[in-house]
Chains A and B, each alone.
Chain A
Amino acid sequence: MDLLEHQGKALLAAAGIPVPVGMVAKTPLEALQVAEALGGGGIVKAQIPIGGRGKAGAIKAARTPEETQRIAEELLSSEILGFRPDTLLVEARADISAEYYAAILMDRLTRGPVLLFSSVGGVEIETLAVEHPEALLREPIDPIMGLLPYQARSIAFRSGLGEYVSDLTKILVASYALFRSHDCLLLEINPLVRLTDGRLVALDAKVTIDDNALFRHPELELYVEGAHGSDAERKARENGVNFVPVGGDVGIIGNGAGLVMATMDLVAGAGLRPANFLDVGGGAKADQIAASLNILLADPNIRLILLDIFGGITNCTEVSSGVLQVIEEHGGNISLPLVIRFDGNGAAEATVMLEGSGVTIAPSLEEAALEAARIMGEHDTSGHGGAR
């Protein structure tokens, strides 16, 4: 789960890491009020879960409360980088002397956390790694010991920031404590700024929390509910299926992440565009299959659905039940071609169950993809869609 900037900053602040004075505003009026409370204008920042906000115009400076309100109005009614912001963060301006980069993330290679730091901040980490590799310091963190102060001091002195070693050490150590306490996969402060008065402040915060750990962070429940996700994604969560839209017109459903990815790859290889990843998991019941189909049927861009099931714990007959349920719900005729591939547990019976239902059963994964391509091609040349 990617937290919004203001949510990340709330965690940072609670962990004792300095953040700018600011408040969340959900309306232009609130933005005005915050600006007044701040004693003038401020920086207005659209809260969207994506990087590159500055360049995309999602962060703007306002000199007066009225200008703040005007900018707020503009941002709240725009679409930026594919998102429609419904929340803004209005912060006091900072007199910046220098910008640094600090991040803690899980390194799969070392199977532990790593601290990345650079005295060159405010740019994308990828750019940094390419243009200033010598300025990017890496400090592996021991999973048992955590980030020890000597490591933070080492970072400070190696970066030429010995003058600020005390504050920097406090911030880095506190950042790791937060990383651990909140099951973070990423905690990025870019930039960590030094103000003209010498204080260090986290000007931005990008925090990613491990979805697998949400069960032990009930205090983040509110963030989960508000997390940017469509109705489809919410419905998928409620039904215990894993759904990731990728934009395309061939809907994909399968049991098992690797199998679903392979199905998407085969479909793409057949010249089609997968619309989504959807894994129903092991032992899926008819209801979950039905819900999954309905999620895809609700997407106006999807023109065909391919279901790929290898029954292990999952019984293919459950899948057929789910399919029949949905067909019935739609008055005996769903509006899209449905291509299904069964194998393993219950495959033969599941196939029999769908005889006469209008569904196309393919004998293999590859043939299912080819069949899908054929059907899509047919529809393109004949100029109309419709059930088969």
Chain B
Amino acid sequence: MSIIAPRDSRVIVQGITGREGSFHAKRMKAAGTSVVGGVAPGKGGQHVDGIPVFDTVAEATAGGEANASVIFVPAPFALDAIMEAAASLPLVVCITEGIPVHDMMRVNASLPSGVTLIGPNCPGIVVPPDNINIGIMPADIFLGGRVGVVSRSGTLTYEVVADLTRAGIGQSTVIGIGGDPIGGVRFIDVLRAFEDDPGTDAVVLIGEIGGDDEEIAANFISRHMKKPVVAYIAGSSAPPGKRMGHAGAIISQGRGTAQVKKEALEAAGVPVATTPMQITELVSSSI
């Protein structure tokens, strides 16, 4: 079963006429996702791969067709795009990287209740059993199944998913929550959904240095989860104080180290893989 993204996801693409937006709109459509429209101010009336383009999100959703948006709008305009989507839709997936932290702080404070934001700086959400692919993840690495995956990474997620697929372990829903310090859904929100999902038997959590999302997740897991969780934390060899690519991947004032995250997860009964490949082994033993 799909979590967060409804089974009948019907997606609009904000920024559909840009390089990234058009490439992925076509790719998502080819992967089987229902891409019902796109938004590009001033380009209403055009079509991208047969997908109708509208000037505004409101127009794109006026017919009641869409129930989700995926955003490929450049960073300086992303806050605006997120809020425009949130005014009309319950699910917003923001791929954009490089959004100012202050903007995400404001989005987080003002996002209408009932709206779920995934990202930003994330690869999106894929529901292999339902052929839903919202974002940028390459369709061919996935296999429909019953293991949920939630990750702060992009390509590292593909790495792990490809490995699970090769071992015949299919996925129920794969969600990239993004690499920024302030954003939408956190590990805990996704874990809660996986715990309540009859279609998920076990969960893989891929974390990294910075912040305390993994520690909060560990606390949630020990108190509220019965399903097995397996984790991997990237960045054990990262030096303190340096931003390792992701805006949120930074050990700040001694906090946010991989070691502390591993310890918190292990204390919650979560085996932590020493390499990404070991995840497949650990998942096999847990299910």
Say yes or no for B181: interface residue by CB 8 A criterion. yes
| Chain A min CB distance to B189 (Å) | 13
| Chain B min CB distance to A32 (Å) | 35
A111 to B185 alpha-carbon distance, docked (Å): 12
Say yes or no for A133: interface residue by CB 8 A criterion. no
List of A residues within 8 angstroms of B136 by Cβ: 282, 312-313
**What number of B residues sit within 8 Å (CB to CB) of A?**
60
**What number of A residues sit within 8 Å (CB to CB) of B?**
52
Q: Which of B158, B179, B275 is in CB contact (< 8 Å) with A366?
A: B275
Cβ–Cβ contact B237 & A265, under 8 A: yes
Cβ–Cβ contact A365 & B277, under 8 A: yes
Cβ–Cβ contact B245 & A246, under 8 A: no
Given contacts A106-B182, A108-B211, A365-B159, contact A261 B244 (CB under 8 A): yes
List of B residues within 8 angstroms of A183 by Cβ: 100-102
Given contacts A108-B182, A262-B276, A268-B237, contact A244 B106 (CB under 8 A): no
Say yes or no for A193: interface residue by CB 8 A criterion. no
A277 to B136 alpha-carbon distance, docked (Å): 23
Cβ–Cβ contact B277 & A364, under 8 A: yes
Given contacts A310-B158, A312-B155, contact A258 B102 (CB under 8 A): no
List of B residues within 8 angstroms of A200 by Cβ: none
Cβ–Cβ contact B244 & A256, under 8 A: no
Closest chain A residue to B237, Cβ basis: A268
A106 to B253 alpha-carbon distance, docked (Å): 13
A212 to B254 alpha-carbon distance, docked (Å): 23
Cβ–Cβ contact A256 & B154, under 8 A: yes
List of B residues within 8 angstroms of A258 by Cβ: 151-157, 179, 206, 208, 234, 245-246, 249
List of A residues within 8 angstroms of B232 by Cβ: 262
A345 to B100 alpha-carbon distance, docked (Å): 31
A267 to B237 alpha-carbon distance, docked (Å): 9
A267 to B234 alpha-carbon distance, docked (Å): 12
Say yes or no for B286: interface residue by CB 8 A criterion. no
A310 to B23 alpha-carbon distance, docked (Å): 19
Q: Which of A126, A210, A215 is in CB contact (< 8 Å) with B102?
A: A210
Within 8 A of A (CB), among B111-156: 123, 136-138, 141, 151-156
Say yes or no for A57: interface residue by CB 8 A criterion. no
Say yes or no for B26: interface residue by CB 8 A criterion. no
Say yes or no for B236: interface residue by CB 8 A criterion. yes
Main secondary structure of the interface of B (DSSP, over half): loop
Cβ–Cβ contact B138 & A262, under 8 A: no
Given contacts A215-B75, A242-B245, A277-B245, contact A126 B138 (CB under 8 A): no
A113 to B104 alpha-carbon distance, docked (Å): 12
Within 8 A of B (CB), among A77-113: 106, 108-109, 111-113
Cβ–Cβ contact A268 & B245, under 8 A: no
**Interface 1/0 per residue, A353-388 and B, CB below 8 Å:** 000000000001110000000000000000000000
Say yes or no for B99: interface residue by CB 8 A criterion. yes
Say yes or no for B284: interface residue by CB 8 A criterion. no
List of A residues within 8 angstroms of B99 by Cβ: 212
A257 to B244 alpha-carbon distance, docked (Å): 7
Cβ–Cβ contact A261 & B275, under 8 A: no
List of A residues within 8 angstroms of B212 by Cβ: 108-109
Say yes or no for A12: interface residue by CB 8 A criterion. no
Within 8 A of A (CB), among B48-76: 75-76
Closest chain A residue to B179, Cβ basis: A257
Say yes or no for A213: interface residue by CB 8 A criterion. yes
**Interface 1/0 per residue, A245-272 and B, CB below 8 Å:** 0100000001111111110111111000
User: Which residues of B pack against A, CB within 8 Å?
Assistant: 23, 75-76, 98-102, 105-106, 108-110, 123, 136-138, 141, 151-159, 162, 179, 181-182, 206, 208-213, 232, 234-239, 242-249, 253-254, 258, 274-277
Can you give 26 A-B contacts (C-beta < 8 A)?
Answer: A111-B108, A210-B100, A212-B101, A212-B247, A215-B75, A255-B155, A257-B179, A258-B153, A258-B156, A258-B179, A258-B234, A259-B156, A259-B159, A261-B234, A261-B237, A262-B159, A262-B232, A262-B276, A264-B238, A269-B274, A269-B275, A311-B138, A312-B158, A344-B141, A344-B158, A365-B159
- Closest 10 pairs (CB-CB, A-B): A258-B153, A257-B245, A256-B155, A258-B156, A213-B100, A261-B234, A268-B237, A143-B109, A259-B155, A261-B235
User: Which residues of A pack against B, CB within 8 Å?
Assistant: 106, 108-109, 111-113, 125-126, 142-144, 180, 183, 185, 210-213, 215-216, 242, 244, 246, 254-262, 264-269, 274, 277, 279, 282, 310-313, 343-345, 364-366
